[in-house]
Structure 1
Amino acid sequence: MKSKKSIVLCATLALAGVVPVFAAGEAVDGRPRKPVAREAAGQGASGAPARAADPLPLGRGLTAQIVYQVLLAEVALQRGRGDFASQAYTDLALRTRDPALLERAIEVAGIARRLDLVLELARQWIQVEPDSKRAQQVLAGVMIMSNQFDGLAPQLISMLEADRPALPGNLLGLNRMLARSPDRQAVYQLISRVCAPFLDLPEAHYALAVAASSAGENERALAAARKANELRPDWEPAVLVEAELLARRSPAEAIARLQAFVDAYPMARDVRLFLARALVGEKRYADAKRQFERLLIAYPNNPDVVFPVAVLALQEDDRVLAEAQLKHLVTLDIPDKSTAYYYLGQLAQDGKRPDEALSHFRQVRTGEHVVPSVVRSAAILSSQGKIDEARRLLQDAASANPQQRVRLLIAEAAVLREDKHYAAALELLDNELAAQPDEPDLLYESALLAEKLDRLELMESRLRKLIELQPENAQAYNALGYSYAERNLRLPEARQLIEKALQLAPDDPFILDSMGWVLYRQGDHASALTLLLKAYGQRSDPEIAAHVGEVLWTLGRYDEARRTLREAQTKHPGNDVLSEAVRKFAQ
């Protein structure tokens, strides 16, 4: 026999629907419960008709009429006529006032989703058996579901007091029990009344803090959280609530509170973890790293510690630590390892270990990283000359992920573009554009391919259409302006377009590069170099390096030009634009 069900569990289950509260075979008040039909509309979870209950243990007064009406109701329930069965049981239960019939009528009303009948029957049951904990639980649950809070506080207080050993846990569960109510202020008022007799317990103040926070009563919530911590100074949940509230007005104040707590209680894992994450949020990476290192020593096999350490290492570009922790993470018992494998794939790809990267990406099977893993895998295969394999991978992924079709088509076009099959790539996107003529990403990518094929009118028409569809698209203005500047055409218009792009994205290194390049074309070499160096400092892109080298050469700074171009070529040996600049200026 199972142990007695706590009131919080019963009421929480009620929030999922009336029927689950009355689950079969569970012990309530120390007695096993009879089996009941579980699903709405007379059907079980698999869609099969719900089975009838076992014979009801009716009290004295069992008559042929009662038996007949019970059988009639159960047959109706079996045939999916839940509303008829519910009404039949309700009439019988109210007439006989038999506790077993009242309970069964409530179950059937729950199946029919007749909360009005459940409420009426539960109140009748309380009258018949005022000391029945089961009846009290049912009444409280349906009042919560119906958002009928008037008169509920005494009912909940009585139920809490009836189970003193479980009181702290039940107080902590009050907010979960009331989570679905949209009136958070009413919930706060109810919990305030329910907790009033129990304010000697920190759990009561914690419940008040959570309810007040949800209702927007931040100062009251903060006071309650601090009172909970005063009653139990080493209790982590109270400090975490306090820190969350402090963070709303001052992240620094929240961090100070968390730091003081872990100084006093060094083994407070959850608070230290929260502190480390708060430090990351404030970009205090070195401080966060120290907290994570302490956690890692104490909890080397805890995924909640290992994964943040790996992510923080990635943010700090500590690839050795990141890779070590991610490889450890995938050996742990966690439900989903796809994110870890994705980051491992990235690290292997950046480390020029393509086969290892492919192996990791193949392990990404769920979540948001599935499609990026396929795209990266295709790029690796393409770089290995496996063009057909890369395209098949992308095509299969598009079939399996139709909502990502455009993204995967663009990736397939990129495979063709990198192999210099520009016409085939453009044809691929044009076919999709025929079905989606206003799709922004298709317009942009096909315009860039048109530019590669010197089909300038097509490029211009698509970029201008994109600008019309998305007037705030900085990349569209930049692409059109740069295409003019690169060909030394319509330079005033090119500058105007790039200036607009800079207004929309002032720190984008590629737009800064475009602005520098148009200034160079207009003869303002000094200003051009300033912008190009700024862009190159933000992004060591090979084409930006080629522009920097050419402008340096034009200014007569030949050694600097050669050094810049040769260093860039060492990092990017296969880039055509950079190779041409090296050929012209650095040989």
Structure 2
Amino acid sequence: MLLKRIAAALTLALGLTHGGYGLAAGDAAAKPASKRPNPQAASEDLLARTVFQALVGEFALQRGDAKLGSDAWTDLAQRTRDPKVLARATEVAGQARQFDRALELSRLWLEVEPDSTQARQSQSSLLILAKRLDELAPQLTQLLEQDKVNLGTNLMHLNRMLSRHEDKKAVQSLVDRVASPYDKLPEAHFAMAQAAANANDNLRALNETEKALQLRPDWESAALARAQLQSRLSIQTAIDSLDRFVNANPTARDARMALARLFISEKRYDDARRHFDRLIKDNPDSPELIYPVAMLALQQGDLNTGRSQLEHLLYTDFADKSSIHFFLGQLDQEQNKADAAAEHFRQVTAGEQYVAARSRLAQLLLQQGKINEAVDLLHNTRGGTATEQSQLVLAESQILREAGRHTDAYGVLEAALKRQPDNPELLYEAALTAERIGQPAALEGHLKHLLSLKPDHAHALNALGYSWADRNIRLPEANALIARALSLMPEDPFIMDSMGWVLYRQGKLAEALKTLEQAYRIKADPEIAAHLGEVLWVLNRKDEAGRLLKEAAKANPDNEVLGAAVKKFRP
């Protein structure tokens, strides 16, 4: 980089010697020989001085001394008035954020080279950086006039050029001033619409977009912008607008895709599917279309279409093949095709679905009785983020828990908590696992730590309250904790179950019965059934209790809590 700058400095210096300043020696030709300076000596002196000053400027910049570099180039530019030197001096001053100096140099540059588009562009950029929009309009107008061939394109670039300016109202005013003389061009109205939208002047933006479409009715970008503005007020208006445009312009791919997505947002899946089917017909190998069609088919329960489109994606240039294998693995798993599912999950090697795929593969191994292989798979998987690492730990602890190895599961969680002591998910799971291995003190410790981090964690409040209620201790405090949890999640059947259980422990049988019946209506869970059955039994409604427990046990033969209740109250 330094050598390039030195070479550029030498080029500028040599150019000056044989250019404008070099002519000064020739001007003296008419003078008497005895008084005339030596032309060669003057030229060499100028060359040496110019090269020295240019090198001083470049070496200073390389050392990070922006002030000295800018001073050197500014002095050289003002003395030589050479356009190339002025350009470099302007650039250096701008990079040093000496905007006043850079603007003064750009004015001198335009004075020397009034028709220079580069000079005017530099001055416009500097005015934007210096946030002097009031001086910018004449420069932008001149630039637009100098390039009439690309007038429409340049109008479209106005907002992008001004995008970093924070005062969006000022930008809107500037764009209006510059673009309004060209109101016969659709691009002018589109530029004014963009500026208005950025300034949250939605009505004006919509009006200008309509004017752009009146001048160019088939302009897809304008139709999309109009629909986006309309959707802020009414999704249906945006749908109607795009529907009319697509009917008039059947090959408008982006507009049709936007319309289909709006239908999805409104859960009008059949309408969305109709448009996606047309898009697929016109673009059968387009991954960006095949993917949403596959997802929409799965959403509608059309598993055959969903599968075929996902399999098709594997033979396209779709970038995220791992996600496709994950969804195909899910389909196979749901259809009890364990080997095929496992093969797909193994091919998920990266991306958002990686940890989920490894977890599902571990579950498949567990179902095949390969417990150690499942644990090793998760234990040896490396998560890229702290969240992924905790997800892998939770999956491993779940595998161990389902295998009945509760102590091992707790050990995995404890080790993870040493690395992430404030992780809410790990704390909650460790608390529940501690309860399973008969360590109520550890359960309380984890839950209290979690509640110190998240006082409104409804499930932690419920778990701590239920633990006390189940052990028949600290019942008023347990009731208060569960009541607070219930206020946060009033429709949660498991928190209702906890409330029913603590009310039962407090001897409030009628309230307990009412609460447990409500919970069981929402969720026919075996543990809720066990609690409800016990309350019915104590209320001497033994026949009802027996029928409830028998039906629940038939549906959930392996539930330990329910099994214990059936055994306890068996006649």
Q: TM-score, normalised to structure 1's length?
A: 0.78
Alignment of 1:102-501 (within 5 A): 102-109=86-93, 112=96, 114-398=98-382, 400-402=384-386, 404-434=388-418, 437-483=421-467, 497-501=481-485
- Asked if the contact 2:497–2:515 (Cα under 8 Å) also holds between the matched residues in 1, the reply is no
Deviation (angstroms), 1:268: 2.3
Question: In the alignment, residue 292 of structure 2 is paired with which amino acid?
Answer: P
Deviation (angstroms), 1:224: 0.9
- Asked if the contact 1:208–1:221 (Cα under 8 Å) also holds between the matched residues in 2, the reply is yes
Question: In the alignment, residue 311 of structure 1 is paired with which amino acid?
Answer: M
> Are 1:532 and 2:516 an aligned pair?
no
CA, structure 1 residues 423+142, in 2 after alignment: closer, same or farther (shift >3 Å)?
A: same
CA, structure 1 residues 79+396, in 2 after alignment: closer, same or farther (shift >3 Å)?
A: farther
Question: In the alignment, residue 224 of structure 1 is paired with which amino acid?
Answer: E
CA, structure 1 residues 171+365, in 2 after alignment: closer, same or farther (shift >3 Å)?
A: farther
d(CA) in 2 for partners of 1:161, 1:485: 82
d(CA) in 1 for partners of 2:119, 2:501: 79
Deviation (angstroms), 1:406: 3.3
Deviates more, 1:320-329 or 1:84-93: 320-329
Deviation (angstroms), 1:393: 4.0
CA, structure 1 residues 76+141, in 2 after alignment: closer, same or farther (shift >3 Å)?
A: same
- Asked if the contact 1:314–1:322 (Cα under 8 Å) also holds between the matched residues in 2, the reply is yes
Deviation (angstroms), 1:114: 4.8
d(CA) in 1 for partners of 2:566, 2:275: 48
Deviation (angstroms), 1:281: 1.8
Deviation (angstroms), 1:192: 0.8
Question: In the alignment, residue 457 of structure 1 is paired with which amino acid?
Answer: A
> Are 1:96 and 2:56 an aligned pair?
no
d(CA) in 2 for partners of 1:188, 1:317: 48
Question: In the alignment, residue 528 of structure 1 is paired with which amino acid?
Answer: L
Query: Which of residues 20, 25, 35 in structure 2 aligns to 1:60?
Result: 20
Deviates more, 1:120-129 or 1:210-219: 120-129
d(CA) in 1 for partners of 2:5, 2:340: 53
SS of equivalent to 2:318: coil
CA, structure 1 residues 349+86, in 2 after alignment: closer, same or farther (shift >3 Å)?
A: farther
Ranges in structure 1 where 5+ consecutive residues have no aligned partner: 1-36, 43-47
d(CA) in 2 for partners of 1:448, 1:507: 22
- Asked if the contact 1:565–1:581 (Cα under 8 Å) also holds between the matched residues in 2, the reply is no
Deviation (angstroms), 1:130: 0.8
CA, structure 1 residues 232+481, in 2 after alignment: closer, same or farther (shift >3 Å)?
A: same
Which residue of the partner structure matches residue 13 of structure 1?
none
Q: TM-score, normalised to structure 2's length?
A: 0.80
d(CA) in 2 for partners of 1:513, 1:166: 71
d(CA) in 2 for partners of 1:88, 1:324: 69
d(CA) in 2 for partners of 1:353, 1:227: 58
> Are 1:72 and 2:37 an aligned pair?
no
Equivalent pairs, count = 533
- Asked if the contact 1:516–1:532 (Cα under 8 Å) also holds between the matched residues in 2, the reply is no
- Asked if the contact 1:52–1:77 (Cα under 8 Å) also holds between the matched residues in 2, the reply is no
d(CA) in 1 for partners of 2:526, 2:280: 39
Which residue of the partner structure matches residue 20 of structure 1?
none
d(CA) in 1 for partners of 2:334, 2:304: 12
CA, structure 1 residues 241+73, in 2 after alignment: closer, same or farther (shift >3 Å)?
A: same
d(CA) in 2 for partners of 1:241, 1:148: 29
d(CA) in 1 for partners of 2:96, 2:180: 37
CA, structure 1 residues 526+508, in 2 after alignment: closer, same or farther (shift >3 Å)?
A: closer
Alignment of 1:510-525 (within 5 A): 510-511=494-495, 514=498, 522=509
d(CA) in 2 for partners of 1:304, 1:527: 50
| Percent of aligned pairs with the same amino acid | 47
Per-residue deviation, residues 187-213 of structure 1 (Å, max 9, x unmatched)? 111111111111111111111111111
Deviation (angstroms), 1:292: 2.3
SS of equivalent to 2:166: coil
Per-residue deviation, residues 113-163 of structure 1 (Å, max 9, x unmatched)? 554543332222111111011111221122223322122112112212222
- Asked if the contact 1:447–1:462 (Cα under 8 Å) also holds between the matched residues in 2, the reply is yes
- Asked if the contact 1:529–1:551 (Cα under 8 Å) also holds between the matched residues in 2, the reply is no
- Asked if the contact 2:186–2:212 (Cα under 8 Å) also holds between the matched residues in 1, the reply is yes
Deviation (angstroms), 1:451: 1.2
Deviates more, 1:425-434 or 1:191-200: 425-434
Per-residue deviation, residues 242-300 of structure 1 (Å, max 9, x unmatched)? 22222222222222222232233333222221122122222333332333233222223
Per-residue deviation, residues 533-576 of structure 1 (Å, max 9, x unmatched)? 3224xxxx77678889999996649889767765x56xxx8766
Deviation (angstroms), 1:487: 6.4
Deviates more, 1:160-169 or 1:518-527: 518-527
d(CA) in 1 for partners of 2:421, 2:192: 55
Deviates more, 1:434-443 or 1:172-181: 434-443
d(CA) in 2 for partners of 1:357, 1:503: 42
Which residue of the partner structure matches residue 15 of structure 1?
none
d(CA) in 2 for partners of 1:511, 1:51: 75
d(CA) in 2 for partners of 1:209, 1:374: 49
CA, structure 1 residues 145+388, in 2 after alignment: closer, same or farther (shift >3 Å)?
A: farther
- Asked if the contact 2:374–2:399 (Cα under 8 Å) also holds between the matched residues in 1, the reply is yes
Q: Max radius of gyration: which structure?
A: 2
SS of equivalent to 1:154: helix
- Asked if the contact 1:562–1:585 (Cα under 8 Å) also holds between the matched residues in 2, the reply is no
- Asked if the contact 2:533–2:545 (Cα under 8 Å) also holds between the matched residues in 1, the reply is no
d(CA) in 2 for partners of 1:481, 1:298: 60
Per-residue deviation, residues 17-40 of structure 1 (Å, max 9, x unmatched)? xxxxxxxxxxxxxxxxxxxx5xxx
Deviates more, 1:61-70 or 1:102-111: 102-111
d(CA) in 1 for partners of 2:53, 2:386: 54
Question: In the alignment, residue 516 of structure 2 is paired with which amino acid?
Answer: A
Ranges in structure 2 where 5+ consecutive residues have no aligned partner: 23-45
Deviates more, 1:472-481 or 1:521-530: 521-530
CA, structure 1 residues 526+276, in 2 after alignment: closer, same or farther (shift >3 Å)?
A: same
Deviation (angstroms), 1:51: 6.4
Deviation (angstroms), 1:399: 6.4
- Asked if the contact 2:529–2:548 (Cα under 8 Å) also holds between the matched residues in 1, the reply is no
d(CA) in 2 for partners of 1:117, 1:337: 54
Deviation (angstroms), 1:452: 0.6
Query: What RMSD over aligned residues (CA atoms) do the two structures have, in Å?
Result: 3.7
**Higher helix proportion:** 2
